[in-house]
Amino acid sequence: DGGITQSPKYLFRKEGQNVTLSCEQNLNHDAMYWYRQDPGQGLRLIYYSQIVNDFQKGDIAEGYSVSREKKESFPLTVTSAQKNPTAFYLCASKGTGIYNEQFFGPGTRLTVL
């Protein structure tokens, strides 16, 4: 059953803590993405990776970090430097080739207490 999984579904964090969101895909896709979605706003790109051991900053990378050690996995760490981390986080992947579709995971809702 191919797809993208994200865990956990809900995450609560105290101020000053770092947290890591998991994203795994078994679609054999090279490219993976992290987006942030806030109410009434479109998706904003945090980081993306086109290949293992390589990633690029998106529009709102400050306060976030990523790694891409395996093709299947692209974890996102929300650090204490992120001033307003409460949001819905979406992971996506895309196959090689410019005309391929982007597929999304079910999302993680992060709430800072």
Which residues lie near other proteins (CB under 8 A)? 4, 6, 31, 33, 35, 40-45, 48, 50, 58, 88, 90, 92, 94, 98-99, 101-107, 109
Alpha-carbon span 5 to 2, nearest angstrom? 10
Nearer to other proteins, 49 or 82 (CB): 49
Could you tell me the smallest distance in angstroms from the CB atom of residue 69 to other proteins?
19
Extract the tokens encoding 41.
Answer: 């706003």
Q: Is the dihedral of CA 51, 56, 61, 64 positive or negative?
A: positive
> Looking at beta carbons only, is 18 or 106 nearer to other proteins?
106
Q: Residue 36 CB, nearest distance to other proteins (Å)?
A: 11
CB of 30 to other proteins, least distance (A): 9
CB 57 within 8 A of CB 37: no
- Residue 80 or 103 with smaller CB distance to other proteins: 103
Query: Closest by alpha carbon to 106, among 20, 48, 37?
Result: 37
CB of 37 to other proteins, least distance (A): 9
Phi then psi dihedrals of residue 71, to 5 deg: -60, -35
